[in-house]
Amino acid sequence: MSEQQNNALSSIYLPLRLAYGLVPLLAGLDKFVGILADWEAYLPRFAADILPVTPAMFMMIVGVVEIVAGLAVLTVLTRLGAYIVMAWLVLISVAVVLSGHYDIAVRDLVMAIGAYVLGQVAGLRGEGWLPGTTVNEGVPTHATTT
């Protein structure tokens, strides 16, 4: 990849990396302090009834997952973390549809597309799935340069 192409990708990569790293991290931290939202309100009632823990405890577990996903994106696991965040946002969308919050579901699905784009851009930049790996030439991937 040329330096010009890499610079162009960096202008996309950095804001996406910051957004999809910081938003899950901060949302995860908020599951413990509850400043941004009443997170339990987004949990479908039937799901809350069958959980083996309280909804508050479940939201704390969700928070830990979000913190880990955000840190993955912000550190050396950007590509893998981006796809984890994408999948997580799709799952959240399903849950909030079941609780009747359609507007939140649409927003999270759009955010999931952005997380997917981050994973693709990381692949185009040559990042592998794990630290120290790169995209191998000749090996089909979702994001390769020609």
Number of neighbours of residue 115 by Cβ within 10 angstroms:
26
Q: What is the pLDDT of residues 39-63, one digit of tens each?
A: 999 999 999 999 999 999 999 999 9
In a domain? residue 51: yes
Domain, as residue range, for 82 = 3-124
In a domain? residue 41: yes
In a domain? residue 136: no
In a domain? residue 143: no
pTM of the model: 0.87
| The total number of structural domains that make up the chain | 1
In a domain? residue 46: yes
In a domain? residue 64: yes
In a domain? residue 137: no
Burial class (CB in 10 A: 0-12, 13-18, 19+), 3: exposed
* 130 neighbors 79 (Cβ within 8 angstroms): no
In a domain? residue 97: yes
Q: What is the pLDDT of residues 84-127, one digit of tens each?
A: 999 999 999 999 999 999 999 999 999 999 999 999 999 999 89
Q: Cα–Cα distance between 49 and 6 in angstroms, integer?
A: 50
